[in-house]
Structure formats: C-alpha cells, structure tokens
C-alpha cells in the first residue's frame, strides 16, 4: 500500500496552493484530480490584489489583463465609474491559472495524478484508480460537487448560488476601451449581478444570483448582452456552475480531514468570488496539517476556528451587502456613489483592510448604512425604500 503524509483531492486553486505549502515544508503530498490537465473551469477569472498577496509566488506568467477601472450600473441605468492608480485585480483564465498552480506544487515536491478515479474510504484511507493509499491527513479541495465533504460528513449548511457565463472575442464587441475595465450590472439578477471581464483575446460575459434563478439565467444573460450590443448567440464556451456559500453550521474539519475552497463553501457572498478564500483556507489548512504531522496537534479541528477568525468578518459583511442590495438596490447604489465608499472598496480589493469593519471615520459610517439596510431587509414585511 502506498503511504503519504497528506492526500489532497482536487487540484484547483485551493488544493494546489495547499499542496505547494505542504510540499515546501517537506511533507509527502499526493495531489489528485479526476480531470485531465490542462482543463478549464467556469469562473470569471479575476484575481484581486488581496488574493494575489496570499500567494508565496508570482502569477505573472498567466496574467492576461490588469484592472484599474470599474464601471457599475444599477439596472442598466445610472452608473458609477472609478479609476485607481493601482492595479485592483488581475485577469486570467482558470485553464491557465490552475495548470500553473499545479506546476508550482509539483516543483515544490508534490506528486500529481490527474484523470484518476478517487474513492474515499475514511479520513486516512482512499483508493486511487482502485489502488489503496494510506495518508496521515486528508484535504478535500474538490469543489461544490466533490465527494470528500459528502463522504466524511463535512460541509452542510451551504447556501448555493448559480452563475452562467460565456466568452466573446474582442472583434465581435462594440468599440470600447474594454482592456483594464471591470463592468458590473447591479440589481439585474436577484441575489447577484451581471458582469463583463476582459481577458487576453476575449471578454468573459456572465450573470449570477440565487439558486432559484437557475431557470432564468439564460434570459438574464440575453438581456445583459442586448444592453451592450452583443449577440448572445455568438458567446462560446457557455457554461453554468454552482456557487456554494457557507453558513455558521458548516463543518470544516473532523479528525484528520478538512475541506478548503469551494468544498468548504468559502465564497464571498456578495461578489461570488472564491479565489481569495481558496488561498486563505489553503494557507490555514497547510498550517494545521503540519501541526498535526509534527505532533503539535491531535486533530485538524482547530482549522475550523482559524477559518472563522480570519474569514467570518468579511463573510458577514458580504451577507449584509448581498441582502441589502437585493432588498434596497437604489439605497445601496446611492451609498456606493459616495467617494468614501469607493475608498473602502479599493482598500478591500488591495488587501489593505481585511473586512469593512476595520474602516474608521466617515468610511465606517458608510458601511454602517449598508448594515442598517441589511437589518431592515431581514425584518418581516420590511417597507420598500
């Protein structure tokens, strides 16, 4: 029987980054994925500066665009345009990013097997293409539809969103300065928004919202395209995906097993972005797994408390913004128009503050306005603003 210190099921951003960190610490790491790499994943492909700051290496080889400008509109009407002197977000494609992250993990010493079938027998035993493997710890990084959490009784208390996206070459777009520009359409999908993200040779166009909006997403996407003079029939690589968002009852670790990234529901509720959370949970998982392997901890369960300490304040603010935007879109948009609000958003994207509650003065008061709207929205029969 093969023996490894750690097996990581799923080689997305969370899994590969955890594998890199553990391998660099000289752990024997087996990184596994059912897909054959390189493979693509439905995702807007944005790496906020705060997310990139979580990585112990540069992602420059896979960067396709740099976002310094944002354009937000409310229900295809009034708009807000802002520009930053610094890069707020790097744009890439998951096919390129995930392959690059796997390469870093392998270079650090992890063993990678792709295109394999995995069966989880317990937190210390699994089978890879039918062959038994014994491990000292098991990390589930196999996403919203993965087997690890389900098999080991982890996860739960997950609220799902849904998204639908496609790609369009620049030559098919109406003339505009798309490079360096992130476009958001707010209030057009319940529980979400529409977007246009620039890449190297195309833009990514998509919509996302609450899970019950799934049957309506094609209509929402057509409407978004129409407002930008895009023929939705020209979109290629059209695909949908779930957005798992954790709630307080989500179980993230038990015994010698834990879940990270999408498998843990670690997605920002208001933006639907999970790359930052993937990198954070990967770092925390690697730290706790090393403590277990070195005998400094008896289980991986302290990982759950570490995740909550680091991510709960941001997630709580995200849920408030999501609920408030859903119920009072005009009021939230009015708050977003304030220059002080943009400064908060900018600091969040840059990683200069970890959550809105760290802001002070007028910026903090603007965030409190959104929190107040969220509290009103949660009340039964709340009056419409």
In-domain check, residue 67: no
Let me know whether 106 and 145 are in one domain.
yes
Q: What pLDDT is recorded for position 33?
A: 97
Q: What pLDDT is recorded for position 382?
A: 41
Let me know whether 261 and 304 are in one domain.
yes
Mean pLDDT over 196-203 rounds to 93
Per residue in 130-164, pLDDT (tens digit) is 999 999 999 999 998 889 999 999 988 889 999 99
Label residue 380 by pLDDT band (50, 70, 90).
low
Whether residue 1 is predicted with pLDDT greater than 90 in this model: the reply is no
Mean pLDDT over 349-378 rounds to 93
In-domain check, residue 89: no
Let me know whether 251 and 374 are in one domain.
no
**Taking each helix axis from N to C terminus, what angle separates 302-327 and 275-293, rounded to the nearest 10 degrees?**
170
Tell me how many domains the chain contains: 2
Could you give the CA distance from residue 312 to residue 268 in angstroms, rounded to a whole number?
Answer: 10
Whether residue 243 is predicted with pLDDT greater than 60 in this model: the reply is yes
Q: What pLDDT is recorded for position 173?
A: 83
Per residue in 44-59, pLDDT (tens digit) is 889 999 999 999 999 9
Whether residue 385 is predicted with pLDDT greater than 50 in this model: the reply is no
The two tokens of residue 58 are 């540069």
Let me know whether 103 and 115 are in one domain.
yes
Let me know whether 342 and 361 are in one domain.
yes
In-domain check, residue 228: no
Let me know whether 136 and 22 are in one domain.
yes
Label residue 383 by pLDDT band (50, 70, 90).
very low
The neighbouring-strand residues paired with 259 are 140
Per residue in 295-307, pLDDT (tens digit) is 999 999 999 999 9
How far from chain centre, in Å, is Cα 278? 6
Give the other-Cβ count within 10 Å of 219's Cβ.
13
Name the burial class of residue 58, with classes exposed (0-12), middle (13-18) and buried (19+) by CB atoms within 10 angstroms of its CB.
exposed
In-domain check, residue 10: yes
Contact 335, 285 (CB under 8 A): no
Whether residue 175 is predicted with pLDDT greater than 90 in this model: the reply is no
In-domain check, residue 139: yes
Mean pLDDT over 328-347 rounds to 95
Let me know whether 258 and 374 are in one domain.
no
Q: What pLDDT is recorded for position 384?
A: 37
The last residue of one of the domains, among 258, 288, 311, is 311
Let me know whether 22 and 109 are in one domain.
yes
Return the CATH number at 306: 3.50.50.60
Whether residue 381 is predicted with pLDDT greater than 80 in this model: the reply is no
Whether residue 375 is predicted with pLDDT greater than 50 in this model: the reply is yes
More confident residue, 39 or 43: 39
Per residue in 323-337, pLDDT (tens digit) is 999 999 999 999 999
Give the pairing type, strands 79-83 and 69-74. Answer: antiparallel
The last residue of one of the domains, among 311, 338, 363, is 311
Q: Which domain holds residue 322?
A: 313-378
Let me know whether 251 and 367 are in one domain.
no
Could you give the CA distance from residue 131 to residue 119 in angstroms, rounded to a whole number?
Answer: 10
Q: Alpha helices, DSSP H only, in 63-207? A: 94-108, 148-152
More confident residue, 243 or 41: 243
Q: What pLDDT is recorded for position 43?
A: 80
In-domain check, residue 185: no
Let me know whether 253 and 369 are in one domain.
no
In-domain check, residue 15: yes
Q: What pLDDT is recorded for position 41?
A: 82
**What is the rounded average pLDDT for all residues in the chain?**
94
Could you give the CA distance from residue 346 to residue 111 in angstroms, rounded to a whole number?
Answer: 38
Could you give the CA distance from residue 280 to residue 316 in angstroms, rounded to a whole number?
Answer: 16
Let me know whether 303 and 327 are in one domain.
no
Let me know whether 280 and 346 are in one domain.
no
Q: Where are the beta strands (DSSP E) in the chain?
A: 2-9, 29-33, 46-48, 65-67, 69-74, 79-83, 89-91, 111-114, 118-122, 125-128, 131-140, 158-169, 181-186, 193-198, 202-210, 236-246, 253-254, 257-259
In-domain check, residue 111: yes
The last residue of one of the domains, among 274, 294, 311, is 311
Per residue in 260-282, pLDDT (tens digit) is 999 999 999 999 999 999 999 99
């Amino acid at each position: 029987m093969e023996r490894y210190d750690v097996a990581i099921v799923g080689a997305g951003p969370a899994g590969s980054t955890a594998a890199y960190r553990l391998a660099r610490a000289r752990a024997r790491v087996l990184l596994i994925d059912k897909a054959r790499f390189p493979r693509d994943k439905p995702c807007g492909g944005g790496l906020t500066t705060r997310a990139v700051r979580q990585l112990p290496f540069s992602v420059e080889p896979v960067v396709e665009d740099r976002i310094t400008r944002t354009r937000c509109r409310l229900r295809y009407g009034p708009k807000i345009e802002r520009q930053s002197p610094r890069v707020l977000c790097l744009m890439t494609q998951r096919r390129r990013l995930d392959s690059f992250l796997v390469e870093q993990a392998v270079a650090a010493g992890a063993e990678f097997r792709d295109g394999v079938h995995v069966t989880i027998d317990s937190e210390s035993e699994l089978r890879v293409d039918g062959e038994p493997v014994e491990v000292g710890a098991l990390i589930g990084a196999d996403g919203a539809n993965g087997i690890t959490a389900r098999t080991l009784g982890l996860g739960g208390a997950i609220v799902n969103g849904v998204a639908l996206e496609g790609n369009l070459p620049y030559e098919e777009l109406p003339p505009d300065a798309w490079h360096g520009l992130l476009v958001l359409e707010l209030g057009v999908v319940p529980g979400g928004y529409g977007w246009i993200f620039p890449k190297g040779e195309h833009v990514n166009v998509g919509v996302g919202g609450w899970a019950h909006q799934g049957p309506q997403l094609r209509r929402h996407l057509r409407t978004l395209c129409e407002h930008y003079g895009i023929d939705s029939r020209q979109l290629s690589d059209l695909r949908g995906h779930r957005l798992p968002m954790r709630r307080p009852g989500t179980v993230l670790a038990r015994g010698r097993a834990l879940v990270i990234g999408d498998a843990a529901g670690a997605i920002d509720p208001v933006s639907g972005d999970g790359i930052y959370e993937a990198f954070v949970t990967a770092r925390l998982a690697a730290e706790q797994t090393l403590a277990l392997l070195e005998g400094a901890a008896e289980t991986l369960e302290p990982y759950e408390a570490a995740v909550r300490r680091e991510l709960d304040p941001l997630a709580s603010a995200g849920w408030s913004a999501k609920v408030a935007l859903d119920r009072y879109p005009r009021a939230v948009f009015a708050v977003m128009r304030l220059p002080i609000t943009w400064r908060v958003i900018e600091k969040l994207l840059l990683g200069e503050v970890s959550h809105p509650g760290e802001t002070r003065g007028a910026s903090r008061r603007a965030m409190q306005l959104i929190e107040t709207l969220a509290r009103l929205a949660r009340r039964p029969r709340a009056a419409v603003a």
